Amino acid sequence: MIKNREYRGEFSAWNDVSESFGGGCPKTEPRYVFAEYQVSGYEGYSTVISSKDGKKFNVVEGSHCSCYGLENQWEPTDHTKKDLEKMMEATYGFFHDHRSELEKWIERIAS
């Protein structure tokens, strides 16, 4: 069985993503999802990668501090598999920290 959806940190299901980002975030779970929301103290950082077909991807990044959350930050950007591979060449941040897991996830869903 292919694991199409991976949720990490404060996210355990699409409902968590939808509730955290609020308006603009689709209520229907995409076919492919890799989502993480890390909270430390009063700060939080989230990255959500989703795809309907495993070829075109949407990336949403959000963050917050103090008493606010991820509300109203659902602004997806369109990317290809090649774009994501380039993002994983970063020397720090989400794509760097999760390079190995993202490479495996992308290969599973893009095949």
The model's pLDDT over 42-96, given as tens digits with 9 standing for 90+, comes to 899 999 999 999 999 999 999 998 878 899 999 999 999 999 999 999 999 999 9
Per-residue pLDDT tens for 13-55? 999 999 999 889 999 999 999 999 999 988 999 999 999 999 9
Would the pLDDT of 1 be above 60?
Answer: no
Q: What pLDDT was estimated at residue 93?
A: 94
Q: What pLDDT was estimated at residue 60?
A: 98
Would the pLDDT of 111 be above 80?
Answer: no
Say what percent of the chain tops pLDDT 70.
Answer: 98
Would the pLDDT of 97 be above 60?
Answer: yes
Q: Can you tell me whether residue 35 is helix, strand or coil?
A: strand
What are the Cα distances from residue 12, in Å, to 9, 16, 24, 86, 97? 8, 7, 20, 27, 19
